[in-house]
Amino acid sequence: MTSDQRPTTDTFRQRFAARQPLLGTFIKTPAVHPVEIIGDLGFDFVVVDQEHAPFDRNTTDLALLAARATGTAAIVRVPSASPTDILSVLDGGATGVLVPHVATVAQARALASACRYRSGSRGFSATSRAGGYGARKMWDHVSASDAETTVIAMIEDPHALPEIEAIVGVEGIDGVFIGRGDLTVAFGAPNRDAPVIQEAVDTIIRAASAAGKPICVMVDGIAEAKAFHERGATAFIVSSDQGLMRKAAAQARADFETIKS
C-alpha cells in the first residue's frame, strides 16, 4: 500500500471503533529505526512499549516522531494509568494509550478522564507536538484531541472479570485488549489455552461485544488472528520489532546451514 493510499493517523480511532481489521506490533527497541521500518511496511499502528521495554520520555518522543513521519498511528503502552504518564505521551503526539491492569470501574473512569479535555481532566497545553507547537487554537486543539485520542484498557487480571460488563461500559473507554499472558500467570494456568483462560477470554469478548466496544488481542500469526476475528476481535498485535527480527534472523541462520550440509 502506498503512502497516499493509507488512511491518516487522525482517523485511527474511527477505524478502530468501526471494527476495521487493524494490524500492529510492539516496539521494544528505544530507537526511531524500528518504527520507520514497520511504518514504511504499512502497518496500521505500532505500540511503543514503556511498560516492558527501556523507553524513557526522550526515546518515546523520538519514536512518536518517527511514527508521525511514516504516517503510522502510535499507541503507547504506558507503565501505569497515572495521569502524568498518560499526559506526557499524549502531548508528545501519541494517537492513544494502551493501559495495563484496568481491573475496576473506578480505574476505567479515571483512565477515561485522564485522556479527555471536555469530559475529563487532561491537563491543557497547545505548545506540544500534539498542539502543533502553538499552531492550533485552544478549542480547535481540545476538539481534535478529544475526537482522535484512542483509549484501550488492558484486561489482564482475574478480579477484573466480575466487573467486566461495567468496565467496558465506561464512556471514554474505546476498546479493550485481552491480556492472555498476564491472565495465564495470574491464574497459574499451564498455558494460555487452558480452560480457565479460554473462559476468561470468552467473558471479555462477550462483554465487549455487548457494549459495542472493539477488541484488540496479541496473536501468534494469521491463523490465530482469523480465529479471533471470527469471535469478534478486529485489532491484532503480531509480535514485536525484536520478535520479528529474531524470527527473520533465525530463518536466515537455518537457511545458511544448507550451504554447510
Phi, psi of 254 (to 5 degrees): -65, -40
Please give the Cα distance from 91 to 123 (Å, whole number): 9
Taking the CA atoms of residue 37, residue 38, residue 39 and residue 41 in that order, the dihedral angle to the nearest 10 degrees is 90
Closest CA to 209 of 169, 153, 237, 252: 169
What are the helix (H) ranges across 49-158?
57-70, 83-91, 105-115, 138-148
| 52 given a catalytic annotation | yes
Q: Which three three-digit cell numbers place residue 193?
A: 489455552
> DSSP letter at 9?
G
Q: Do the beta carbons of residue 75 and residue 98 sit within 8 Å?
A: yes
At a CB cut-off of 8 Å and minimum separation 6, what does 5 contact?
Answer: none
Its sign, for the CA torsion 80, 175, 221, 188, is positive
- State the catalytic residue, choosing from 52, 101, 141, 229: 52
- As a whole number of angstroms, the distance between CA 99 and CA 170 comes to 15
Helix (H) or strand (E) holding 32: helix 32-40
C-alpha cell belonging to residue 55: 523507553
Pairing of strands 96-99, 150-155: parallel
φ/ψ (deg, to 5) at 256: -65, -25
How many whole angstroms separate alpha carbon 167 and alpha carbon 107? 9
Catalytic positions, please?
A: 52
